[in-house]
Amino acid sequence: MLTALESYYLSKPEPYQSCLLALRDIILRAHPQICHERKFQVPFFTYKGKKLGYLWLNGKKLMLGFCFDKSLQPIVAGVKPKDQYESIRINPDEDIPVDLILQKLHHHLQLIDQTI
């Protein structure tokens, strides 16, 4: 029986399915402490219990998003922190920008390591 996470990937049409699976593997191989789960109905990645990123397919738009968890931000009186996001649009018909993805991943991993 498939998990909800496996079903998510396998329910997507090609070339999105292959691209999503490749992105998943790139992210998980970047560091052994990256965890993979289904959260907010999409594949979501965490590192040391903090939000790291997600994969999102909306129609024909495939996005790899990175998060900066609000719990890592400094507390400022009168300011309610919010998670900060940045995303990269991925074209499944082109080469995956592996170097850019790994650069962004390592940057976010360092941010987490520096603040916990």
Cis check: omega of the bond before 15, within 30 degrees of 0: yes
Sorted by sequence, the CB contacts under 8 Å of residue 72 that are 6+ apart come out as: 50, 111, 112, 115, 116
**Residues 18-34 pLDDT 10s:** 999 999 999 999 999 99
Whether 13 has a pLDDT exceeding 70, the answer reads yes
The residues spanned by each domain of the chain are: 4-115
pLDDT at residue 75, as a whole number: 65
* Dmax (CA) of the chain: 49
pTM of this structure: 0.87
Query: pLDDT by residue (tens digit) across 88-107?
Result: 999 999 999 999 999 999 99
**In this predicted model, which residue has the larger pLDDT, 115 or 39?**
39
Amino acid in the structure at residue 57: L
Any idea which architecture 4-115 has in CATH? Alpha-Beta Complex (3.90)
Residue 90 CB coordination number (10 Å): 22
What percent of the chain clears pLDDT 70, i.e. is strictly above it? 87
* Selected residue with higher pLDDT from 74 and 7: 7
| DSSP class of 103 | H
